[in-house]
Structure 1
């Protein structure tokens, strides 16, 4: 017994009105999907061609992958992003998690995503107002792993003790140099994410003990 493979016929390919780089593909007289011209050329799609379900899946999976990668590339082009931020963005755009992570890996391979570099930049731009513990918490909220945060911190040009001392001076401005205010200053710096050692250094600095 010979089993016939079911095929579907491309009846027309029409340019989209709002995007000349994309076309609408019609199968058996009905709209099927919109695809890029690149996909049409790559797979040599044309009116009259007949495709099996397997071929359709391959063609349009490839199109979906290309579209997701283009979306991801456009997203990271606006500003540096973490791996999880890109994944979450693609999922919100309707792509599967599997495809989203595939795009993340591809962008990482191309050098467009680097969580260590993201951590370094984040730390350098916020180190004047926050300690590493606070920044670590915020970076982990963005999906960055601890090892990438610490690696970024080692590369960052930032002195947390000095920054804590500068914040301490600003905090104590117009305040009485009394024990109660120094205690409040210490708690303030700890709340900003500075370590006990950094907070202690800053308090001693404004007291003139360093």
Structure 2
């Protein structure tokens, strides 16, 4: 037997606290159907029915989140946490996604690196992947497989934007350097890469 500690109206749904520490969200119709009332007992049978509802909903929500764009495991977890899904239900949803290949952090890292390798440094790409929840081991593994270098990424980016800048002009040169620094490249790497485009000492 469980106990309903609190029910709070949050629009179409209710935020429910069970046994003082379990927090869930249910639609108002579901609350009525399950006979959930504040400061009252909640049978194991009704609790299991609620659990099954949330388990199915978490899975459907996860698939919806992946509808238009690939995501990391952490991104899915964070979204489900915002919906007050209990941790074990989130784990079930993630297990389902992994089982059928809907979530794969290594695949995500490969796609992300491929899309960013001509516009950002490896350092910046790594930091962004860490923030998205891809662990360091997987990031290192993918980078090793793809055999990328900062020099290659920097040269490709320079070739892409070089026409926008007059490197014979100190202001323009410094502006381009600041742009490349913002992409995660070091000043030394930038100077070395730009030397062939200036053919003179840029230490004004």
Could you tell me the TM-score, scaled by structure 2's length? 0.64
Q: Tell me, what secondary structure is at the counterpart of 2:33? A: strand
Q: Provide the C-alpha distance between the structure 2 equivalents of 1:110 and 1:103, rounded to a whole number of angstroms.
A: 11
CA shift digits 1:4-25 (9 cap, x unpaired): x9xxxxxxxxxxxxxxxxxx67
Q: Provide the C-alpha distance between the structure 2 equivalents of 1:199 and 1:56, rounded to a whole number of angstroms.
A: 64
CA shift digits 1:80-112 (9 cap, x unpaired): 001111011112223123422331233122211
2:77 aligned to 87, 93, 101, which one? Answer: 87
2:154 aligned to 157, 164, 170, which one? Answer: 164
2:190 aligned to 156, 176, 199, which one? Answer: 199
**What RMSD in Å do the two structures reach over aligned CA positions?**
3.4
Q: Provide the C-alpha distance between the structure 1 equivalents of 2:73 and 2:107, rounded to a whole number of angstroms.
A: 12
Q: 1:57 to 1:173 in 2, by over 3 A?
A: closer
1:190 aligned to 175, 181, 191, which one? Answer: 181
CA shift digits 1:89-142 (9 cap, x unpaired): 112223123422331233122211111111111111112111111112222222
Structure 1 residue 136 and structure 2 residue 126: aligned?
yes
Question: How many pairs does the alignment contain?
Answer: 166
Contact 1:75 1:86 in 2 (8 A): yes
CA shift digits 1:125-160 (9 cap, x unpaired): 112111111112222222221222222323448664
Contact 1:165 1:205 in 2 (8 A): no
Contact 1:139 1:149 in 2 (8 A): yes
Q: Provide the C-alpha distance between the structure 1 equivalents of 2:30 and 2:113, rounded to a whole number of angstroms.
A: 48
Q: Provide the C-alpha distance between the structure 1 equivalents of 2:170 and 2:137, rounded to a whole number of angstroms.
A: 38
Q: Provide the C-alpha distance between the structure 2 equivalents of 1:107 and 1:198, rounded to a whole number of angstroms.
A: 41
Q: Provide the C-alpha distance between the structure 2 equivalents of 1:60 and 1:96, rounded to a whole number of angstroms.
A: 12
Contact 1:131 1:195 in 2 (8 A): no
Q: 1:182 to 1:104 in 2, by over 3 A?
A: same
Larger radius of gyration: 1
Q: Provide the C-alpha distance between the structure 2 equivalents of 1:174 and 1:136, rounded to a whole number of angstroms.
A: 28
